[in-house]
Amino acid sequence: MIPVRGYAGHKVAILGLGRSGLAAARALLVGRATPICWDDGAEGRARAEAEGFELVDLTRPGAYDGVAALIVSPGIPHLYPQPNRAIAAAWDAGIPVDNDIGLFFASLGTSDWMSFDQPPRVIAVTGSNGKSTTSALIHHILRHAGRPAQLAGNIGRGVLDIDPPENGEVIVLELSSYQTDLARALTPDISVFTNLTPDHLDRHGGLGGYFAAKRRLFAEGAPDRAVIGVDEAEGRFLANQMSQGPGDDRVIRISSGQKLGGPGWSVFARKGFLSEYRKARQMASIDLRDIRGLPGAHNHQNACAAYAATRALGLSPKTIEAAFHDFAGLPHRSQLIAEANGVAYVNDSKATNADSAAQALRAFGRIRWIAGGLGKDGGIASLADALGNVTKAYLIGHSAREFALQLGDTPHQISETMEQAVADAMAEAEPGDTVLLAPAAASFDQYPDFEKRGEHFTAEVQARLGS
């Protein structure tokens, strides 16, 4: 655990008592602060009460008397679409509002680091798509190379729940826009921006607010190195803002699909090959085509980001390439779960929006596509150009009929449930086909989260294959 510093002897309020909120309460207690806790849900309050934390309704008058700060869990809106009442009350009382990410960066360094030969480093990864795989891949490469490393944030453990880092250790953080938006301290050594596509727009008041939340990881902390995907205008803008000139190698530009030139440092993937260029010279090349844990152009972008981040730490191209080959991928993200009778079964339940589904649809050949759930604005209309590999679609959930209307001439049927969709797709699949779950929708109509949806797909496939 990382003890929170700077609040010893003070009361600190915690709003939201899920994983990050309870971890913050524990870390504050270890740092000799007095946490007072609140959650709008009875279940969260019960968890805190079971651990002996004091409960205080933060919306009541006088709740912030003597309180030094309010720490907010990432799922709670603090501005759009409207502020939570407890947060608005903190503003009115003049109480500083922060989150666990801010506490982490403000508390990580200690005097013990003076005795280290190599101080610990922090790599923070954000972006719309691919940040979980990129974070996990960076962590995997480091462990493969024998470097001590921990994975935390939006993946793995809560940031305050990790072990105090040892000599030379690297902490890899996946950070969502919800986490970067509110943190008062953001000081990673290396920041990574994968890409930007519309998501969480209601939470950030539009695409500009969403990008601004991501940009804070770079603008607020001034990292030593910035790895930035430049396949969208926002990434090119960010890379330009972070750079002092064409040859400034503190910025490493990455791309999937386009060759990057110039005198600076760049890493890009084209036609299945990753290339590193520096000062207009090619430094390394890796064939990504046969790496099973990184299929498709979207995963090649993830590979470029992870490669750039670990190269910035001094790892060799050969070491990184060897780690790529034994990376198994993450559950629910283009995860190959079975192969039988010439048919591959891939679980990409994490494809909860149209853009991420498009990446999966372009990664495989003849696809029998299971899609649907609780559709987002626009449904799958934007996928028209990505349907070329779809042999047939099997639609499930709340938005099945809406999706059907948007599929045009693409063969499809409404299967309603996962059980029926898997049964239908398997019955019709032929050797060379891929049965792909890439829902392009949220899961909340039928499942508590995308993980449960992916687990159900996997169980149905395995049950029918007898494995």
Binding-site annotation: residue ranges for ATP: 127-133
Residue 411, preceding peptide bond in cis (omega within 30° of 0): no
Residue 111 makes CB contacts below 8 A (sequence gap 6+) with none
Q: Do residues 31 and 87 make contact, with C-beta atoms less than 8 angstroms apart?
A: no
Q: Are 435 and 344 within 8 A, CB to CB?
A: yes
- DSSP lists the bridge partners of residue 227 as 192, 252
Binding residues: 127-133
Burial level of 101, CB count in 10 A (0-12/13-18/19+)?
A: buried
Query: How far is residue 125's CA from residue 305's CA, in Å, rounded to a whole number?
Result: 9
Q: Shortest CA distance to 328 belongs to which of 319, 320, 336?
A: 336
Which residues, 6 or more positions from 313, have their beta carbon under 8 angstroms from its beta carbon? 121, 123, 142, 147, 170, 190
